[in-house]
Amino acid sequence: MNVAAALIAVIGMVLVVWLGVGVLKLYTLFGVVIPYAAFLIFVLGLIWRMVNWAKSPVPFKITTTCGQQKSLSWIKHSRLESPANNFEVVLRMALEVLAFRSLFRNLRADLRGRRLYLGSSKWLWLGAILFHWSFLIILVRHMRLFSYPVPGFIQTLNAVDSFFHIGLPHLYLTDVTILAGLTFLLLRRLVDAKVNYISLASDYFPLFLILGLVISGMLMRYFLRVDIASVKELTLGLATLHPKVPKGIGLIFYVHIFFVSMLAAYFPFSKLVHMVGVFFSPTRNLPNDNRRVRHINPWWEGVPPKFLTYCEWQEKFKDKLIDSGQPIDEDCYKEKKS
C-alpha cells in the first residue's frame, strides 16, 4: 500500500501537468507561478527548519565516537573518530558529508538460526554515493540554463560528463549513474524484508519523485526533443525575474519542471532535509572533550537548578533506605550536629 500510494501520487502529478498544459493551456501557471511558489516555499521552509534546529538546546554532549578519546599525552587518540577540537570536527564532518564515511563502515546483521552474523555491507554506500554525487553534478551542470555567458567551470564539467561521446546528443555519465543509484535504493526497500517492513509512503515518495524527475529529463534530452533555445529563454527569464513563456517548448518540459518544483517545495518538510540537518546534529558537530571542558546545559541559563548533596538526598529518602536495608551514612548527621 505504501508503494502504491507513492507511485499513484507521482503518476497523478503527470496527469495534472497533462490536464493543465496539454488541455487547459495554462503555460504561465506551470512555467512561472508554480516554480516561483515552489522556490519560495523551499527557501522559507529551509530557513524555518534551520532556525528551529539552531534554537534547540543541547542538554548533553552526545558526540558519537568509535575511537580513542584524547587523554594522556602518551596515548594516541583518534582524530577523526573522536575529535578533540573544532578543527578535527570539521575534518570528520567533511569526510562524513563528502564521502559518507560512517556509511562505508556499515555492517550488515543477519540472524541465521540462533546465531548473529555481522558482515561488511558496501552496496548501500556505493548506491548512496552514486546517487548523491550524480545529483549534485547534474544540479551544477543545469546552472548553464540560468546564466549567460555560461561560466567556464560549468562548460568543463559538461565536457567531462559527456567525455565518452556516446550517441548524439552525447550521453551524460551522471544520467547513467544516478539512474543506477536510484534503482538500487528503490529495489533495496522493495526486496530487503527488514527495510521493507519499516518503510513508509514517505520513504518511497521521494524516490519515485526523483526517479520521475530523472526519467523526464532523459526523455527530454535523448528521445522527446525540445527547443533548447526556448527552454533557456524561459529559465533565464525566471532567474532574472523577467519571466516569459515561449511557445512550443513541449509537454515533457512542463512535466520535468513540475517535478523539480514539487521536489523543491517538498524538500524542507521531508526526510531529504537531512542534507542540511547533518550540520546541526550534536552527535557530529561537537568535539569529544568531556574530560577537559564542562558542557553547560543551556536549559540552566538564568534559572540554575538546585542540586541535592548526598546528605540531603539521604535525609529525603531515609525511611525508604532503612526499609530496603540500605546502609545509612552517619557522618551526614555528625556534620549536621557540628
Dihedral of alpha carbons 5, 17, 231, 243, sign: negative
Dihedral of alpha carbons 95, 97, 99, 101, sign: positive
Dihedral of alpha carbons 189, 190, 191, 195, sign: positive
CA 241, distance to chain mean position in Å, is 29
pLDDT, position 337:
55
Does residue 304 have a cis peptide bond before it, meaning omega lies within 30 degrees of 0? no
pLDDT, position 338:
54
Give percent above pLDDT 90 in the chain.
66
Residue ranges of the chain with per-residue pLDDT less than 50: none
Predicted TM-score of the model (pTM): 0.86
Residues 258-303 pLDDT 10s: 999 999 999 999 999 999 999 999 999 999 988 888 888 777 777 7
pLDDT, position 26:
95
Q: Which three cell numbers stand for residue 131?
A: 546517487
Q: Which residues of 38-65 are buried (b: 16+ CB within 10 A; e: fewer)?
A: beebbeebbeebbeeeeeeeeeebebee
Q: What are phi and psi of 242, to 5 degrees?
A: -130, 65
pLDDT, position 73:
86
Domains of the chain and CATH, by start: 2-305 (1.20.950.20), 306-338 (no CATH)
